[in-house]
Structure 1
Amino acid sequence: MTKTLGNFTGRLLLVGCGNMAGAMLDRWLGAGLESAQVAIVDPFAAPRASIAHFATLADWLAADGAAEWVMLGMKPQQLGDVAGDLAPVVGGETHLLSILAGVSLADLAARFPEAKAQVRILPNLAARIGAGVSAVASLGEADREAISALLTPLGTVVDLADDSAMDLVTAFTGSGPAFVFRLIEAYAAAGERLGLSADDALRLATATFGGATALLAGSSEKPGTLVSQVASKGGTTQAGLDVLDADGQLVALMTNVLRAARDRGRELADLARGEG
């Protein structure tokens, strides 16, 4: 694979390497990041060949000391548990990257005031295949060229002026793939109820959603225009749309879904600050 991380030459310490951080790491390694540039501190993460793996920060400190690039990839409510041990790692030349839901730049700056920059990143799981979305906001003297080099292989990068909208973005794009997967699952289940086999229903649903989103992504037209190209007056598509659109229930449902996810992000922020 063509190396696409040529502008990122630092060494990256991952504190926590669960599903999201692991997906990012897999993509980075596939895009040319050398395994020698990465270390992981996580007692629960599955070992990755040739990547240094430490159970605790104390173990890593004994071996290496401060780091130029540190990414927080554990659960947000664990921040208080690791912040004290992490402080000696985060010095004046450290970029502190965080993918922790609900943990603001102000929270990071309060916990790690010595960092050269605090960078909040909101990725999603499609980063694993380079088709994700990463919203990013930062404080301090961030090396934007290096950050761009690190995030671009993950997919679309959206720079935010500040992180005031991050709780909503967390729900909208971070949680979004799970909502789409659930919609596909429900679509397939409905097909099965009406007579398709389970396997055929899932294959057809996956291909239908995949083709529709690819068509939209490659088009300059709005979704409503594409809807009108599929539906005809009095036809089968319109009959289904009449159910979807009745009383604005679909938009109301999705609004409630996003609100619940956004509000949970705020609750997690309180837990990370020890206020929950």
Structure 2
Amino acid sequence: MTRNLKGFADRMLLVGCGNMAGAMLDRWLVAGLDTAGVAIVDPVAAPREGIARFASLAEWRAAGGTADWIMLGMKPQQLGEVAGDLADIVTGGTHLLSILAGVSLADLAARFPGAKAQVRILPNLAARIGAGVSAVASSGDADMATVAALLDPLGTVVALADDSTMDLVTAFTGSGPAFVFRLIESYAAAGERLGLPAEDALKLATATFGGAAALLADSGEKPGALIAQVASKGGTTQAGLDVLDSDGQLAALLTNVLRAARDRGRELADIARGEG
């Protein structure tokens, strides 16, 4: 059930509104967020009815823009530029939300010392349909009840004690949908190579992955228990599992995938701090 945001009366500014920030905003609008209280600073963002869009922070400020909540959704490499234009209006009443990969709460506090609170959010693209995962950590005097109200329409929310693991979470859940899409794509391609029509292979692969994930979430069981319900000794499923499990190659591959994504997040953090 999507929490209703019709009672959210504060002013919100989105600095950057690309795929991820746009998915969050669109879901908030579905949940009843009042467009009159929202502004976007992004010269190339898709227009949204009722929401003022500005090409730059200077243009927004010239129009008398004010905000109680500011969400940073641009590229992490742009943090220095944005902070220079924005820091003086991030005051003691302002909540600063950030979905910037690699940019820590400490980085945000250093750039925006006047903020009431810094809130680091790591969502993923499935937020677009309310089936996302959002990890959240905060510093300062954050209004976490309102933060929770904003994140609830996006899907599952995981509150972290601090943001020390956020680079890994960025790789694990933020980048995760792309990895799953690649697995589905590759699974379908394998079916096609073995004789399935391409369209059938993709449809079957998508339904198989989606159904298995839904069953796992609904059952409350561990993956191994469900594997045992599908596989029988000496059967077809076990023959395939033997290939997947050979020499721990699958686990090693996925570990390397996550490590590469995590480490890139750290590199982006260095760039955002001007160290890269």
TM class by shorter-chain length?
over 0.9
**Match in the other structure for 1:195:** 195
- CA–CA distance in 2 between the matches of 1:88 and 1:18? 25
Stretches of 4+ aligned residues off by more than 6 angstroms: none
Give the SS at the match of 1:47: coil
**Match in the other structure for 1:165:** 165
- CA–CA distance in 1 between the matches of 2:242 and 2:3? 49
**Match in the other structure for 1:217:** 217
Distance 1:2 1:260, change over 3 A: closer
Would the aligned equivalents of 1:16 and 1:74 in 2 still touch at CA under 8 Å? yes
Would the aligned equivalents of 1:6 and 1:149 in 2 still touch at CA under 8 Å? no
- CA–CA distance in 2 between the matches of 1:119 and 1:7? 21
**Match in the other structure for 2:60:** 60
**Match in the other structure for 2:14:** 14
Q: How many residues of Structure 1 are paired with residues of Structure 2 in the alignment?
A: 276
- CA–CA distance in 1 between the matches of 2:60 and 2:89? 9
Percent of pairs identical after alignment?
81
Query: How far does residue 49 in structure 1 lie from its aligned partner after superposition?
Result: 1.5
- CA–CA distance in 2 between the matches of 1:65 and 1:6? 21
Q: Which amino acid aligns with 1:156?
A: T
Give the SS at the match of 2:133: strand
* RMSD between aligned residues: 1.2
Query: How far does residue 10 in structure 1 lie from its aligned partner after superposition?
Result: 1.2
Query: How far does residue 7 in structure 1 lie from its aligned partner after superposition?
Result: 4.9
- CA–CA distance in 2 between the matches of 1:203 and 1:259? 31
Would the aligned equivalents of 2:43 and 2:56 in 1 still touch at CA under 8 Å? yes
Would the aligned equivalents of 1:135 and 1:169 in 2 still touch at CA under 8 Å? yes
- CA–CA distance in 1 between the matches of 2:24 and 2:2? 17
- CA–CA distance in 2 between the matches of 1:230 and 1:126? 28
Give the SS at the match of 2:209: helix
- CA–CA distance in 2 between the matches of 1:247 and 1:22? 42
Would the aligned equivalents of 2:10 and 2:67 in 1 still touch at CA under 8 Å? no
**Match in the other structure for 1:275:** 275
- CA–CA distance in 1 between the matches of 2:266 and 2:3? 38
Query: How far does residue 2 in structure 1 lie from its aligned partner after superposition?
Result: 7.0
- CA–CA distance in 1 between the matches of 2:22 and 2:272? 22
Q: Does 1:131 align with 2:131?
A: yes
Instruction: State the TM-score, normalizing by the size of structure 1.
Output: 0.98
Would the aligned equivalents of 2:2 and 2:152 in 1 still touch at CA under 8 Å? no
Give the SS at the match of 2:220: coil
The CA deviation string for residues 195-244 of structure 1, in whole angstroms up to 9 with x for no partner, is 00110000000000000000000012100000000000000000000000
- CA–CA distance in 2 between the matches of 1:40 and 1:7? 20
- CA–CA distance in 2 between the matches of 1:3 and 1:229? 36
- CA–CA distance in 1 between the matches of 2:129 and 2:65? 32
Q: Which amino acid aligns with 1:251?
A: A
Gaps of 5+ in 2: none
Give the SS at the match of 1:218: helix
Instruction: State the TM-score, normalizing by the size of structure 2.
Output: 0.98
Distance 1:6 1:65, change over 3 A: closer
**Match in the other structure for 1:94:** 94
Would the aligned equivalents of 1:66 and 1:88 in 2 still touch at CA under 8 Å? no
